[in-house]
Structure 1
């Protein structure tokens, strides 16, 4: 047992330096674009990183010093801000220009809806903050931690889109999934706060909203975006845009399958806590 745990810790230690290095390279790249290519609009990335780090310090000082609780609370804040922003962008655009042509290829790839660019920058800044926080407090496990890999892929996709000012609207649509993330984080915070009565109305409502948003805001939206990408494949110019977009969406859809399985297992455990404890003991 001790030997297994030592090997596990050694594997975790190998993952940390790699992801630290990629995060530093990403940060150097962003500052290079801001300072040498005069891309002042990318300062929204830095602003996002600082805002969520400040939120981290405030929660740590006034609420709890538990790294997991602090990290989850800040993630909840990001999900709320991003969800409200995405819904506002879509509603505002519909009211301004109408829904006709809103999801045309030219709009999704070459256009940028009002406030879409700073919103994507802001979210990119959050993923950089979250990556650093998880690395500093070792909130990950495994030889190739899925959460760190997920953040790295998102940082690459987001920053490339922001540098080229292309597919920004597509990425805004993918962020609709943050509506579901709200209830994932609420559940986590609720359990850490000791509220675990599956029969209470609040918990039942939370699970209902968790499943509804998982199906419609996460799974269905990402499947529809993937179908749209495949249907418009011939309209993309030659280059990395289409392969990168398809690769990113394939990764998101696979993660959604795994998340759905984990969610179902968590739902069963909460509904039958005594049975789960008995099976775990066996």
Structure 2
């Protein structure tokens, strides 16, 4: 038993070392772009990573030292900031230029809505911070941790788009899913805080919002983006943009399926607990 535990620990160390090495390489590439290629607009990535690390320290110092609680709380902060940013960007674009042509291929691939670039950089900084936090506190499991793979794929896709200044608006649309992430993180923080009364009105409202945003802000949005990519495939120039976009969206849609199953199972568990408590009374 002890030998098995030791082997698992060694495997986890190797996995952590691999993802840490990829994160360091990513960070070096960002610094190279900023300092050697004079891409000062990428400083928003650094600003995002620093802000969320400061939030981490603040929560750890004044609220709780539980690594999972701290990590989830910072994730909630990111989802809230990015959701407000994305909605503001879309509304601002509609008010200034109207919705006509807003979702045309040329606009989604070659255009950049006001503040979209900064918002994408900011979110990229969060994923780098979160990857490091999860590695440092070992908030992952398995030989191929899905959360670490997810973050690595996002960092690659986001930074390539930022370096080449293409598909920025497409990626902003994918971040509409952060509206759903708010309620995922709220549920997690709420349960860690010991609030688990399934009959509570607040909890029931939370579940309604959780399902509505999962369906419309995450699942439907990502499906529509995938359909749009496939329909506009002939309009893409030769290069990595289309294959990378299709690969990224395929991954996101698969993750959404797994997330939906997990969400349904969690909902069933809470309902069964509610029914058990009701019969117990």
TM-score bucket (shorter structure): over 0.9
Aligned to 2:163: 163
What does residue range 227-266 of structure 1 map to in structure 2 within 5 Å?
227-266=227-266
After TM superposition, the runs of 4+ consecutive aligned structure 1 residues lying more than 3 A away are 1-7
Correspondences of 1:68-107 after superposition (within 5 Å):
68-107=68-107
TM-score under structure 1 length normalisation:
0.96
CA distance in 1, matches of 2:24, 2:239: 27
CA pair 198-275 structure 1, distance change in 2 beyond 3 A: closer
Residue 216 of structure 1 deviates from its aligned partner by 0.3
Gaps of at least 5 residues in structure 2 are 277-281
Instruction: Confirm or deny: 8 A CA contact 2:180 2:217 kept in the other structure.
Output: yes
Scaled by the length of structure 2, what TM-score is found? 0.96
Name the CA distance, whole Å, in 2 between partners of 1:19 and 1:252.
20
CA drift at 1:274: 8.1
Which residue number in structure 1 is paired with residue 154 of structure 2? 154
Deviations 1:150-204 (A, max 9, x none): 0000000000000000000000000000000000000000000000011110100
The RMSD of aligned alpha carbons is: 1.2
Distance (whole Å) between structure 1 residues aligned to residue 137 and residue 206 of structure 2: 28
* Paired residue secondary structure (1:37): coil
2: CA distance, partners of 1:94 / 1:274: 44
**1:22 match:** 22
Task: Give matches, 1:100-249, under 5 Å.
Answer: 100-249=100-249
Residues 86 and 176, structure 2, Cα contact 8 Å, conserved in 1: yes
User: Matched residues in 2 for 1:4 and 1:270: separation?
Assistant: 34
Gaps of 5+ in 1: 277-282
**C-alpha separation between the residues in 2 aligned to 1:143 and 1:9?**
10
Are 1:14 and 1:143, in contact at CA under 8 Å, matched by a contact in 2?
no
Separation in 2 of the partners of 1:143 and 1:274? 35
Measure the CA separation in 2 of the matches of 1:56 and 1:266.
27
Match for residue 280 of structure 1? none
| Separation of aligned partners in 1, 2:225 and 2:202 | 32
Deviation at 1:5, TM superposition (A): 3.4
1:279 matched to which residue of 2?
A: none
Cα shift at 1:273: 2.7
Query: CA-to-partner distance for each residue in 1:212-270, whole Å, 9 max, x for gaps?
Result: 00000000000000000000000000010000000000000000000000001111111
TM-aligned CA distance change 1:27 to 1:6, over 3 Å: same
Displacement of 1:6 in angstroms is 3.4
